[in-house]
Amino acid sequence: MILQVQNLHKSFGGLMAVKDMGLHLDQGEILAVIGPNGAGKTTLLNLLSGLFLPDRGQILLSGHDITRASPEKRCHLGLGRAFQVVRPFLEMTVFENVMVGAMFGKSGISQKEAHRHTEQVLTLTGLEPHAHKNAHDLTLMQDKRLEVARALATRPSVLLLDEVMAGLRPNEAQDAVQLVKKVRDSGVSVLFIEHVMPVVRDLADRVVVMEYGSRLAEGPYQSVVRDPKVIAAYLGEEVS
Ligand SMILES: Nc1ncnc2c1ncn2[C@@H]1O[C@H](COP(=O)(O)OP(=O)(O)O)[C@@H](O)[C@H]1O
Ligand SMILES: [Mg+2]
């Protein structure tokens, strides 16, 4: 178990955004977190990456208690995150953007090592041909790849993805699915939030459904999408 969340709570004023939430991520696993808008999925990711601190509960990363650790500390311990709204350094090239992540991710890495790692990440994410473009000259799909590349540059053992497929056409989403599978095959465990159900079906080893800040259901895709609770709370109708 590489990531473990127990009894996590986070309220904003009177609103319980995350309530007694628990989940785990196994080594080498791709886990999907789904659920209706406002269910607390992004808040959960913000708690995992250290943007917010929980009111109570515990987060363990590779056995380290990171519940109250800074985002930087979490990054150094192997937690990487790509954002729903991509935000590269626009005045820098693709290569430079990834290089920044590589330098930042692990303390003590030499510039030469960071350079080599950047090249590997650009190859993995298919951005090699665009390495010397400015970040503001990329297409939406390339932007998303760069967001993933920047997170991978920090050498995470766990990658958190918040709706990185949003806005992609179906064939682009399939490319993104292949990319995430390659990332996993390179040794990274993945937790992703996603609304597009075919993507969840094709990518997730296991699915956690959130509603009202809590875990409503959990299991393989095919059992979760047939769960009457999940159909009532989220899907509306049965999906294949
Ligand atoms: N920074 C914040 N301040 C106040 N309320 C927030 C904040 N972030 C999220 N919320 C509220 O918490 C609830 C869960 O939101 P969110 O985690 O974004 O859900 P999801 O990602 O599942 O759509 C929502 O009611 C949302 O309005
Ligand atoms: Mg969200």
- The domain limits of the chain are 1-78+156-240, 86-154
7 Ramachandran zone, left/alpha/beta (phi>0; psi -120 to 50): left
Which of 42, 85, 195 to mutate for ligand 1's pocket (most ligand atoms within 8 Å of CB)?
Answer: 42
Q: What is the pLDDT of residue 47?
A: 97
Say whether 206 sits in a helix, a strand or coil: strand
Q: What is the pLDDT of residue 240?
A: 78
CA of 221 to the centre of ligand 1 (A): 25
Q: Is there a contact between 194 and 165 (Cβ–Cβ < 8 Å)?
A: yes
Q: What is the pLDDT of residue 70?
A: 93
8: enclosing H helix or E strand? strand 3-12
> Nearest ligand to the C-alpha of residue 18?
1
Q: Is 204 exposed, middle or buried (0-12, 13-18, 19+ CB in 10 A)?
A: buried
Q: Tell me which residue has its CA closest to atom 2 in ligand 1.
A: 12
Beta bridge partners of 207: 32, 219
Q: Which two tokens stand for residue 192?
A: 């992703």
pLDDT digits (tens, 9 = 90+) for 27-49: 999 999 999 999 999 999 999 99
Q: What is the pLDDT of residue 86?
A: 59
Which residues lie with the beta carbon below 6 Å from any ligand 1 atom?
Answer: 12, 15, 17, 35, 37-43
Residue in 36, 5, 38 with CA at minimum distance from that of residue 20: 5
Q: Which atom of ligand 1 is least distant from the CA of 43?
A: 17
Class of domain 1-78+156-240: alpha beta
Q: What is the pLDDT of residue 3?
A: 98
> Nearest ligand to the C-alpha of residue 35?
1
Say whether 110 sits in a helix, a strand or coil: coil
Q: Is there a contact between 89 and 101 (Cβ–Cβ < 8 Å)?
A: no
Q: Which two tokens stand for residue 234?
A: 């989220």
Q: What is the pLDDT of residue 164?
A: 83
pLDDT under 50: residue ranges of the chain: none
Q: What is the pLDDT of residue 83?
A: 63
CA of 178 to the centre of ligand 1 (A): 30
> Nearest ligand to the C-alpha of residue 213?
1
CA of 47 to the centre of ligand 1 (A): 12
